[in-house]
Amino acid sequence: MLTRILFLADVSPFSERALAWASEKLKGQQTDFLLLHVVDPAAGMEAPHVVREAEGYLEEMASRVLPPESYYKTLVLSGDILETLPETVRSEGCTFALLALPEGVDGLPLIRSIPVPQLVLRESEGLFPDTGVFGKLALALDLEPNRTSLMLDSLRAMLSATGASPEIVLVHGVSPLSAEEAPAMLNAAEEALEEIRDEIASWGLEVSTSLLAGDPATDLPGRIEEIAPSSLAVGLPAAGELGRLVLGSVAEGLLESTRCPLVVFPL
């Protein structure tokens, strides 16, 4: 899965720090990077000049940051980034993407546009996480069978590609409409989580479950903060229609509130 990583770059020290982090934390023996920068068409007549400057900057950045033996390609395009990004992922055969977001930036439109698994990396007080991404992974599930199956397939492929063996915490939120239906809903969710736990445990991983009874939109971010994972994995249809758990304000709440790296699987 991590054979070709698209790295969305701007022309700033922020991107250089993010690329250095990616080179250390994500690079494997079969990995290469595609460094992409998209110039806003609003540059108008200056666009060709801006493109040339960006091309030079990306090449210099890659030569400074990436190890000499690394294989990489730089690409600077002009256009609407929400159209250019998915087109480039497909045309360049990218299998994974890294989206580094400065503090305060809303990355949801970009996240939704990327049609391959991605890692969303946020900077906090000028720093990126210094621990491994796959030490303790929280996996947010809505328990819908098809989406859950796709999530597990994607997770197993990613772990196989990275050689990682993280501790897994399965997270699900239940919001009963009434007190009467709460026990049945909680029991059904607990049984489903146990089945998934057994499957992942068969991969040779340590797995636990965390079942939340309450409003997922408001309570789930707090539960994940308590778990303190090194990364959080969620499923998100690339077209933007979200699943039951990762639905509307719930998904946006997780994307906005999660400070650890966020693994997003397109479903």
Q: Which tens digit of pLDDT belongs to each residue from 40-67?
A: 887 677 778 888 999 999 999 999 999 8
Question: Does residue 113 sit in the same domain as residue 42?
Answer: yes
| CA gap 117, 112 in Å, rounded | 11
Q: Which of 26-30, 232-236, 257-261 has the highest mean pLDDT?
A: 232-236
Q: Which tens digit of pLDDT belongs to each residue from 154-164?
A: 999 989 888 88
Long-range contacts of 42-51 (CB under 8 A, 24+ apart): 43/78, 47/78, 50/78, 51/76, 51/77, 51/78
Could you say which of 93, 122, 151 is where a domain stops?
A: 122
So what's the pLDDT on residue 53? 92
Residue 224 lies in a domain: yes
Question: Does residue 157 sit in the same domain as residue 222?
Answer: yes
For residue 153, name the pLDDT band (cuts at 50, 70, 90): very high
Residue 129 lies in a domain: no
Q: Which domain holds residue 160?
A: 136-265
